[in-house]
Structure 1
């Protein structure tokens, strides 16, 4: 089954998968609700899903967790533009069995699907090496909410950082909480100042330290 809120991307993935004689797409959906409803009647060995869905949909981490609990026989493969060691580690910790960046060739996706079908985890070798060398300690502290319990941060600043760690943009966070984009941006920048950082990359690098301060 394929899940992506962008119709062009969704149809492109389905078309590419259909080229493989040994693979069959049993469903293609734009929302998590459609996917979960379909899984109630039609099992799927592999679920290929985007990490960041529509602004009113469930976030990627919670969906991965829900799939792991409700459909343990299905293996989740994430394909997303959010492709950093921190995001990949979060997804794997939540229960994903593989992760492919949307900047990678579609052949990587096909390889990943077959790897999961064999019961193995799939990561591109470079990503696997990056996680092993840069995120070993972070893998022990991958709950995004716990990571933002830093002294000096307000509850809303922690909330914004949690969403950032889950791969959401400022606009998506504003929509999720029905707040002004400028308000979210101000809260994010205020949190960054308190943490002594300036970019999202720096946030991901210190994420394993936030629950120690």
Structure 2
């Protein structure tokens, strides 16, 4: 049985590399690729895709990250399974990737063999968290994943906090998300309250990886 794969990533070199990984792999075929979320949605409208390998921080005008993209895919393309590939190494943020209800999570520096294992596992109906992701998050098996603080956040609160910690200002987040400054500021404040943080320093210390 042929598994049809699509690749979505803003980095053309990574897309080429992914294509090479699947070259000659029995039962696996890359049928398309896209550089942003808008392009991959357009592709899915016209083509049957079994597995989408996507950057979690996929660029795009409407679907700006994996959480918003995943919500659309589950609603409009439920037969397409999603494996997120990410550069994120912060435990809290990686747990958010897992809880996005993707079918698999990999790091971009995982081996080609790991990518193939993930695709074959997901094609068999299994959930797949790469060993590299499990080491960072402490998650041993998908089924054993325990609720974390981030589950208390709404999707928009989580998005605002992630963008805020990445270095964007409230006004920049508001412009990107097409929301008012007051709405974004409220979502940041409510998200921090749910996580138990009294100030930005506590938020950044918790969400940003420490450096030795």
Say whether the fold is shared (TM-score over 0.5): yes
Contact 1:145/1:162 (<8 A) preserved:
no
Q: Secondary structure at the match of 1:77?
A: strand
- Which whole-Å CA distance do the structure 1 matches of 2:53 and 2:21 have between them? 13
- Which whole-Å CA distance do the structure 1 matches of 2:140 and 2:154 have between them? 19
- Which whole-Å CA distance do the structure 1 matches of 2:38 and 2:130 have between them? 30
- Which whole-Å CA distance do the structure 2 matches of 1:193 and 1:115 have between them? 42
Q: 1:170 aligns to what? A: 167
Q: 1:89 aligns to what? A: 95
Q: Give the structure with the larger strand fraction.
A: 2
Gap change, CA 1:51 and 1:109, over 3 Å in 2: same
**With structure 1 as the length reference, what TM-score do the two structures score?**
0.69
The size of the alignment, in residue pairs, is 182
Q: Please state if 1:70 is matched with 2:76.
A: yes
Contact 2:8/2:40 (<8 A) preserved:
yes
Q: 2:180 aligns to what? A: none
**With structure 2 as the length reference, what TM-score do the two structures score?**
0.70
- Which whole-Å CA distance do the structure 2 matches of 1:16 and 1:37 have between them? 24
Q: 1:44 aligns to what? A: 49
Gaps of 5+ in 1: 149-158, 180-186, 206-213
CA deviation map 1:166-209 (0-9, x unaligned): xx732598765459xxxxxxx99xx8871552745x1379xxxx
Q: Shift in Å at residue 34 of structure 1?
A: 1.2
Gap change, CA 1:106 and 1:83, over 3 Å in 2: farther
Contact 1:98/1:116 (<8 A) preserved:
yes
Structure 2 matches for 1:144-159, cutoff 5 A? none
Q: Shift in Å at residue 139 of structure 1?
A: 6.7
Q: Secondary structure at the match of 1:107?
A: helix
Gap change, CA 1:146 and 1:6, over 3 Å in 2: closer
Q: 1:131 aligns to what? A: 139
Runs of 4+ in 1 over 6 A off after TM superposition: none
CA deviation map 1:88-140 (0-9, x unaligned): 3323322201000012212111100000000000012463460359x723077
Q: Secondary structure at the match of 2:85?
A: strand
Gap change, CA 1:29 and 1:126, over 3 Å in 2: closer
- Which whole-Å CA distance do the structure 1 matches of 2:121 and 2:47 have between them? 22
